[in-house]
Amino acid sequence: MKHFINLKDISSKDLRKIIIDAKKRKHARKKLNNLEIDKGAPLKGKLLIQMFEKSSLRTRLSFYLAIRQLGGSALTLRPDELHLSKGGESIEDTAKILSNFGDAFMLRTDNDEKLEEFKKHLTIPIINGLSPSSHPTQILSDVFTVEEIKKKQISKLNITWIGDSNNVLNSLIAASVKFSFKLSIGCPKKYQPKKVILDWVKSKNKKIYIFNDILCIAVMHSQMSLKKQPSILSFLNA
């Protein structure tokens, strides 16, 4: 895997490998504190450079502790400290410098095109820490957490999202395709996922279920809360 920008661009096999490895590592760390290093220090001598163009707390701490626990180091850059933000340096020039000194680059940005431009010029992997259209790291960690709590693979579960469409939902939709779980979405028609997202799902011969009517959403919420979750078809046909 070269980059981690959108879940839809990563194979199901690679995503499952990440989940499996994370479960093993979490289990092995039971007796370690947050700052202790994993046995073997797999990323010893590696540097993660991260830049936050949008505010963050959980993402910043998660990445810092993750790279440290794996034996590496993290360097956090502020956009206003770089020539890039002041118009004196191009993304291509910045990417060359990052590639020369770092081993991976994490970017949290308000510009999807910037991610793609960095991807084009970097010779090291880039990780999407959040962008307007996608939040892959959050959703992958959500999949991990759901499986940990329910003690079964997410493909055996019904997942429900209630609320407006956003970058997190876009990644959840991609995850539903990659991990083959049933996804139901309750939201106003005006705020449902964009057509390009729905067309991508269809191109993969998959299906998600969208409810715009408030009564259907209420039924969906109450039925999904039952201990024995029904098939989505049971109330589609009611």
Given a cut of 80, whether residue 153 has pLDDT beyond it is: yes
Q: Tell me: the pLDDT tens digits for 162-215?
A: 889 999 999 999 999 999 999 999 988 899 999 999 999 999 999 999 988 767
Angstrom distance (rounded) from CA 217 to CA 205: 25
Q: Which residue has the tokens 């939709």?
A: 173
Neighbouring C-alpha atoms within 13 Å toward the C-beta of 115: 23
231 pLDDT band, cuts 50/70/90, is: very low
Q: What pLDDT, in 10s, does the model give residues 52-105?
A: 998 889 999 999 999 999 999 999 988 887 777 666 788 999 999 999 999 999
Q: Which residue has the tokens 């220090």?
A: 41
CATH topology for the 7-130 domain: Rossmann fold (3.40.50)
pLDDT of the residue at 36: 94
Mean pLDDT of the chain: 89
Interacting residues of 146 by C-beta distance below 8 A, sequence separation 6+: 154, 157, 159
CB 123 within 8 A of CB 92: no
Q: How far apart are CA 104 and CA 124, in angstroms?
A: 5
CA distances in angstroms from 29 to 32, 69, 70, 188, listed in the order given: 5, 9, 11, 43
In percent, the amount of the chain with pLDDT more than 70 equals: 88
Q: For residue 159, is pLDDT > 60?
A: yes
Q: What CATH number is given for 152-226 in this structure?
A: 3.40.50.1370
User: Which residues of the chain are in CATH 3.40.50.1370 domains?
Assistant: 7-130, 152-226
